[in-house]
A and B are shown apart, each in its own frame.
Chain A
Amino acid sequence: MILHGAVFTLWMAVIVTQTQLIAARKHEVHMRLGKLAFLLAILMIPVMYLTAVWQVARANQPPFTDPLTWTIVPLAVIIPFAILIWNGWNKRRDVQTHKRLMLSAAIVSVMGPAIARLPLAPPTVVGFTILLLLGLMLFVPLILWDRKTIGAVHPATKLGFSMAALTIAVPLAVYWLNLPWAKIAGHLPGVSA
């Protein structure tokens, strides 16, 4: 999974570079890099999927779950991430919408994997739930920023928050409602338990 780490590290580097290019008023370079960034984001989708299904064989899950059920956590990110990236690309000429959607996509790709690795809660379903909700709090600065600058929450922020909420609502539903996701996951292409 070195590839997964490398691709996501590159993605984070691109996010920072893009914001720095705008801060330096290098809009042309930002737009050219944006095309490559969009291709990178598309590449990330199969990488996300493969990371999710290949971890079954490695049994790389926390003690409160099993490998097949655990696939729902990374898989639940894929569609919301794709929706944000696609909308961000389509709205690239609408600056205010574009930057909120891209920041939201960055938050969605980071909030679960990075925050859930922080040693802030025990490795239990409750601890995992707390960390996922903590990740959702990354939207608070953006919501406050919207209220301060435009007096309301921007529709793109609402979409970003909704997508982020979806990435945590789906796995939490599986764990808290004991949904039989493992039976479905067992049939996913690439899964080899």
Chain B
Amino acid sequence: MATVVASGADRKSSERKFYSRMALFLVFLVLLGFGPSFYLKGVVPPTPGPIPVFRQQ
């Protein structure tokens, strides 16, 4: 029984880690993608990706 409870707890723990890491990875991608054009505009040079950098008029 103790083993079953422990494995259940382990499963929940891994599940929490998985979703936390996925969320953090998405934030990392947002910072990487929008860094040059939004978050770090003027600090780092713009990148030549398919979508042009954010332009304000």
- A residues near B (Cβ < 8 Å) are 1, 5, 8-9, 12, 15-16, 18-20, 22-23, 57-58, 60-64, 99, 103, 106-107, 110, 113-124, 127-128, 131, 138, 141-142, 145, 149
Q: Chain B: how many interface residues by the 8 Å CB criterion?
A: 31
Q: How far is the CB of A141 from chain B (nearest CB, A)?
A: 6
Query: Which of A110, A118, A123 makes the CB contact (< 8 A) with B26?
Result: A110
Q: How far is the CA of A103 from the CA of B18 in the complex (A)?
A: 11
Contact between chains at A117 and B17 (CB < 8 Å): no
Residues 9 to 51 of chain B near chain A (Cβ within 8 Å) = 11, 15-20, 22-24, 26-27, 29-30, 32-34, 36-38, 47-51
Q: How far is the CA of A123 from the CA of B52 in the complex (A)?
A: 8
Query: Which of A62, A99, A120, A131 makes the CB contact (< 8 A) with B52?
Result: A62
Chain B residues within an 8 Å CB radius of A99? 19
Contact between chains at A15 and B34 (CB < 8 Å): no
Contact between chains at A122 and B22 (CB < 8 Å): no
Contact between chains at B18 and A145 (CB < 8 Å): yes
Contact between chains at A103 and B23 (CB < 8 Å): yes
